[in-house]
Amino acid sequence: MTYFDNYRQRFFIENSPVRGDVVHLTDAFATVISQKDYPKALKALLGEMLVSASLLISTLKIHGKLSIQLQNSDPNAPFRFAMAECDTTGAVRALAGFSAIHDDEQMIWQNAHTAQDAFALLDKGVLFISIHPEHGESYQGIVERVSDDLGECLAHYQKQSAQIPTIIKLATNETTASGLLIQLLPQSDKDKDNDPDLWDRLTMLTATIKKDELTELPAQEILYRLYHEEDVVLPDVNALHFACTCSLQKSQGAIIQLGQDEALQVANAHGGALVLDCGFCGQEYRFGTDDIKQLFA
């Protein structure tokens, strides 16, 4: 088997309607959190959001992209927004908007240590999932904030919106973001008769996973530790990777939206060039006044 540092391992319990995935991200996670000087808690939350997007897209039968977003209603809050996405080719990226300039803001971030702490800072924020199929209409759902644990909120959403009992466990450390999703798809009467306490048993077993086991162990070992008395089937792993969808064309589009006069004003105020930085990957798109005029010619 090929070994990947960033991967999603799907699993099934043989002869049952149970499926799941384990996601493990190392350098893709490192690339995301190195884009800005993110506070520690925000790095952890971005890791959990990346893993969640990678887990959830695997539950869908679409080609396209899934994104998880947190949006604060207060534009002056120290934590403004965060988003993470994964597409069906396994490309992930994420970004957060925050401020840690003023003393009180710095203090808030210094007292935030975990993903939950960062999530709690957005207590008035909205959490939502968007699904963008390549063909067909996009869909957006608001996720109820049942706790400050992102995994619990997303699992609750699966249960409420799709009637599918789901457990999601997430963990990060400095170098790795990982998670596990397990769900009970609709059961036939035969399934229920076969093994009536299957889901209760799996729920209890899944609750025993520790955060450091999730980040430190390979997927196969996590699944073995948890479910070695079950018949676990492991298809080939899917590689995940960091990738950005920004482009010169999209940046040009943004300038056209801004309008010629506004764009030239900004450029003139900044030494004759309007520079668009991509917050996801750091790519710089630079437009001189001649470039701007040409866009509108």
Residues forming the site for Zn ion (CB under 5 A) = 244, 246, 278, 280-281, 283
Closer to Zn ion by Cβ: residue 232 or 244: 244
Give the nearest distance from C-beta 92 to Zn ion in angstroms: 13
136 three-state secondary structure: coil
Give the nearest distance from C-beta 245 to Zn ion in angstroms: 7
What residues contact 7, with CB distance under 8 A and at least 6 apart? 23, 24, 219, 237, 238, 239, 240
What residues contact 97, with CB distance under 8 A and at least 6 apart? 79, 80, 81, 82, 279
Distance CA 177, CA 214 (A): 8
Give the nearest distance from C-beta 84 to Zn ion in angstroms: 14
Give the nearest distance from C-beta 281 to Zn ion in angstroms: 3
Closer to Zn ion by Cβ: residue 21 or 85: 85
Closer to Zn ion by Cβ: residue 227 or 280: 280
Closer to Zn ion by Cβ: residue 25 or 202: 25
> Which alpha helices (DSSP H) does the chain contain, by range?
27-33, 40-57, 103-110, 115-121, 150-162, 189-194, 198-206, 211-216, 219-227, 248-258, 260-269, 289-296
Distance CA 183, CA 58 (A): 12
Give the nearest distance from C-beta 86 to Zn ion in angstroms: 15
Closer to Zn ion by Cβ: residue 109 or 242: 242
